[in-house]
Amino acid sequence: MTTTSERDPESLRRRMSQRVSQSVFDGSRLRVVLMVHVYDGAQQQFLEAYEQLSTHVASVPGHISDQLCQSIENPSQWLITSEWESAPPFLSWINSEQHVRMVQPLHGCVRDTRSLRFHVVRETGGPAAGVPAEARRLQTFPRIGDGVVRHALTFTVRPGSEEAVARILADYASPEPRVDDSTRLCRTSLFMHGNRVVRAVEVKGDLMAALRYVARQPEVRAVEEAINPYLEQDRDLDDPGSARVFFTRAALPALHHVAAGQTAGAEGAGAPVRRYALHYPARPEHGMRLAELLAWQDVAAAEDPGSPVLRSTIFQRDETVVRMIDVRGELEAADPVVCLGLPDPVRAAELTTLFDTDPAGPVDPARLGPADLARFLDTARMRLITDRRSPDV
């Protein structure tokens, strides 16, 4: 199969580096850095658990190598680095149930962890010296970010409890947006689709610091406790192990974010900008590919100055794919082909074969009429529960 980078011209890729502030789909090699703080006296237990885990990781497709390092200053501080052919195979592994089970032995000896993921942009020396960046699977152009980090959580509630859960989630006092001198909460958008809840957050600064700060706030903790009886997956927030497993499974990473070329000044021009989310259920083991096709559709659409979609963020975990879009005006008044992320008929033809459910029939923009596409858009549309922005954002 031809890769995305092979299909797209150089000019589009350069423009993409300016408009796409986040993406895992450029084919670059990935470096993962995991900083670990081990309980005093648990170093040998940690080492043995790591050796068992590393034996399995070595056979995961896309994995290249890893290193385990211990601090020369503090024997409780460890560093694990790994290299992957690209981000998608790593994310598929880290978000799998198999990974959740494999890391369980580490929980008893680890006090805290911090994971960082980087695309390799340049490297010097070694056998790769002098080899073109593309041949070395390096990120070709640096991305110009917008200073915002995006993340989401998703979970399901018991069927029949959706209205009760929606009322609880909509009725809470927002925490103070300032986390510390360098981190603040920018926006929280919460949606539901059937019994699935998706909570997307935008943060300036340190995402993990912001998530931990929010989890400690009494008003947020009260909401989490109130929805506990309705969750399909039981959890005990007073039990660190139970809470860790729940939030690990609930993580819905942002894989791609693109802003259209005409975003500057768009917030105050013409119709108001509204936020929507669309749910694309994928066939088993096809969620990442579906997300990638949506991402490249949005990159191409960002070239159109008349597009009503100003920004798009794609979240994915397993078969759950969510595309959050900021649209000028009402969704119902916009072109459903563009809003669904299906402007390119060739990519749309492959994309729609990856849907797990197809309530609108074969979703081929070249064949379906406006009523069919509007019906499909309505089916994919998630219900907005709350969308809160910090006053100074």
- Tell which of 202, 226, 252 closes a domain: 252
Number of folded domains that form the chain: 3
Q: Are residues 267 and 374 in the same domain?
A: yes
Residue length, the chain?
A: 393
- Over range 42-64, report the average pLDDT: 92
Q: Are residues 200 and 160 in the same domain?
A: yes
Within-domain flag for 97: yes
CB neighbour list of residue 21: distance below 8 Å, 6 or more residues apart: 143, 144, 145, 146, 148, 257, 258, 259
- The CA distance from 325 to 86, in Å, is 26
Range of the domain at 110: 30-119
Q: How far apart are the first and last CA of the chain?
A: 43
Q: Are residues 104 and 220 in the same domain?
A: no
Nearest CA-CA partner of 196 in 318, 112, 40: 318
pTM of the model: 0.89
Average pLDDT, the chain: 86
Q: How does pLDDT run across 136-165, given as a tens digit for each residue?
A: 778 877 888 788 999 999 999 999 999 999
Q: Which H or E run contains 201? A: strand 196-204
Domain containing residue 193: CATH number: 3.30.70.100
- The CA distance from 29 to 136, in Å, is 8
Q: How does pLDDT run across 59-87, given as a tens digit for each residue?
A: 999 999 999 999 999 999 999 999 999 99
- The CA distance from 310 to 226, in Å, is 35
Q: How does pLDDT run across 244-292, given as a tens digit for each residue?
A: 888 889 999 999 999 986 544 455 556 799 999 999 989 999 999 999 9
Within-domain flag for 3: no
- The CA distance from 278 to 244, in Å, is 28
